[in-house]
Amino acid sequence: MSSMSRYAIGVSLFALVLVWVTGVVAAPLEVERRAISTDVFSKLKFFSQYSAAAYCEGNNNSTGTKIVCPVGNCPDVQSANTNTVSEFENSLATDVTGFVATDSTNQLIVISFRGSQSLRNWITNLNFPVDETDICADCEASRGFWRSWKEAQGGVLTAVKTARAENPNFKLVSTGHSLGGALASLAAGVLRSQGVTVDLYTYGAPKIGQTNLVKYLSQTDRGSNFRVTHLDDPVPRLPPSLFGYRHISPEYYISSGNTAQPTANDVTRYEGVNNKQGNEKDTGFSVDAHVQYFGHISGCGGDDFEFKMKRDLEMTDIVKM
């Protein structure tokens, strides 16, 4: 069988699994739908650029330098006065990559994690068992995501502590795309559990854990959540709700096409950790939807990034269920 045939079969099976899961999961909780303001829209767009910057190699291996995006997909970040406090890449077990940076122009400290870029990352993504966390009582997270975060935790928390001591009036933000969004969520959870206020911006992030954990992250008053999804991006529907996984609320769902720049009118806010509106109602499979968030968010990943992701998705267990 040709590789293209195997890919087509894999995608078809993936779509069937998502349809089946959507059909058998219990009825959704009541969902509140809201339009968004232009101010919120501007923030969603701005922090997508910090998530995009985590894909650029020069931002992951040269601590003490300015954030730049050679492919031009983080212009607002690149024009700011930034400096990395810590950069890290390709951790031993799960390829955790990203940076902690200060932004004196916007008075920010930003933690940014790169999204999935290897088969090892995707294996982590689809590791459905859960581990107990120390974020809150009886709070369980995906074992893969939690272990990935624990690899990075020491260095990230140290860098954040240093940056906050030097810039006590700066706002702290955690952000990331895809797997990076899962790690950003856990980073925010740990920091909030320690009494630190941190805002969370994720793009195309998977579900990170079960009800107690996501309710804690959704209801805490130590920072705001902005979980952004796009059309039929398949990643936010993983792991399936059937396994008890839930999402941080609220969701900001982008309904514009893959080639269009969204406006505030294209983004709808949905409340609820188990809402079946927005991205969750879609059963399609679009890698383009996964990489297009206010621009090509994974652009620094290289021309073959989408090919690698399609290949890795085909090889994972989700398409064999």
Q: What residues are annotated to the active site?
A: 178, 233, 290
Tokens 């936010």 belong to which residue?
A: 236
250 prior amide bond cis, ω within 30: yes
Q: Tell which residue, 269, 203, 202, has the closest CA to residue 230.
A: 203
Strands 199-203, 171-177: pairing is parallel
Residue-level length of the chain: 321
Cα gap 319→112, rounded to integer Å: 29
Q: Look-up: residue for tokens 């624990």?
A: 150
Give the C-alpha separation, 44 to 138, whole Å. 31
* Beta pairing partners, 225: 200
